[in-house]
Amino acid sequence: MTAETRLRALVVEDETFTRRELAAMLTALPEIGRVSEADGGESAVRQLGETAFDAVFLDISMPGLDGMAVARVVGRLSEPPAIVFVTASEQHAVDAFGIGAIDYLLKPVRPERLAEAVSRAGAPRRPPPATPRPSQVDELAVVQVENGRHTTFVHRDDIQYAEAHGDYVRLHTGEGSHLIRMPLSYLEEVWAPAGFVRAHRGYLVAIGWVRDLWVSSSSGLVARTPAGDVPVSRRHARALKERLLAAVRDEGVNAVPPPGTRA
């Protein structure tokens, strides 16, 4: 096997020892050429956007973007690498194969199983289906927020807008706000079918929660929601207004006539 035909692999694992051990095992296989490492989902997404890989070896339970979320990002690439999950839990196997994984390895990984997975990664694969699975529309329909020993489950329908905070996003609801580690650009992609629209470089707003638009003397154009005002940049103002108009038209078309009236 020549250097040109060897596989380029990415290991995504937040535990340093486990990540390096798996990378070393892969490096020892003759089918593997280059092995890169990512210590979490966010790092993996960045590397996948910058570098071409033939195979991604993914842990599932990671802070921020977990392995399932990363795998769905991989599936949207024009030339997606093979996905191999490496996890300590058996419970996600059905979902893993449902989103296109070629193998599912349980920790601790046995060398012969890893070699088998690498062999599958190097075999010709069918192109992924052009139409997304219906379940992708409900991606992150419920957000799990970890705060020390306390876990809060936030329903997407209750989120009125999202605000970027560096590597984190603050989700605003009528009851308060919640901070999660996740790129705003990722939420924009997976929540677009649910009516979330970019209003500003650092904000997404849920169309259904926008009560009106108004011009503030201090902030310029803002979208008003019960949870607070969302700044609207000139770049995104036109698209936001068009979505709001479309939503109003849809409400009119789908409105149920009052009792006793003819449709």
2-22, pLDDT tens digit by residue? Answer: 556 799 999 999 999 999 999
- Please check whether residues 51 and 113 belong to one and the same domain: yes
E runs forming strands in the chain: 7-12, 32-38, 55-58, 82-87, 103-106, 142-147, 150-155, 159-165, 168-173, 176-181, 196-200, 203-206, 212-216, 220-225, 228-231
User: Which domain, by its residues, includes 13?
Assistant: 7-125
Q: What is the pLDDT of residue 137?
A: 44
Helix, strand or coil, per DSSP, at residue 133: coil
Residues present in the chain in total: 263
Residue 245: predicted pLDDT: 85
pLDDT of residue 113: 93
Question: Whole-model pTM above 0.75?
Answer: no
In a domain, 259, yes or no: no
Kindly report the CATH number assigned to the domain that includes residue 75: 3.40.50.2300
Amino acid at 203: Y
Put residue 148 in one of left, alpha, beta given phi > 0 → left and psi -120 to 50 → alpha: left
| One domain for residues 70 and 166 | no
The segments of the chain whose pLDDT lies below 50 read 126-137, 253-263
pLDDT of the residue at 255: 43
Residues 30 and 52 in one domain: yes
Domain assignment present for residue 262? The answer is no
Spatial distance between the Cα atoms of 228 and 237, rounded to a whole number of angstroms = 18
Judge if 114 and 150 occupy the same domain. Answer: no
Q: Looking at the structure, tell me whether residues 146 and 94 fall in a common domain.
A: no
Is residue 244 located within the same domain as residue 146? Answer: yes
Q: Are residues 121 and 146 in the same domain?
A: no
- Give me the pLDDT at residue 3, please: 58
Last residue of a domain, one of 90, 125, 160: 125
Tens digit of each residue's pLDDT (9 = 90 or more) over 187-233: 888 899 899 999 999 999 999 999 999 998 877 999 999 999 999 99
Tokens of 63: 């802070």
Task: Indicate if 223 and 250 belong to the same structural domain.
Answer: yes
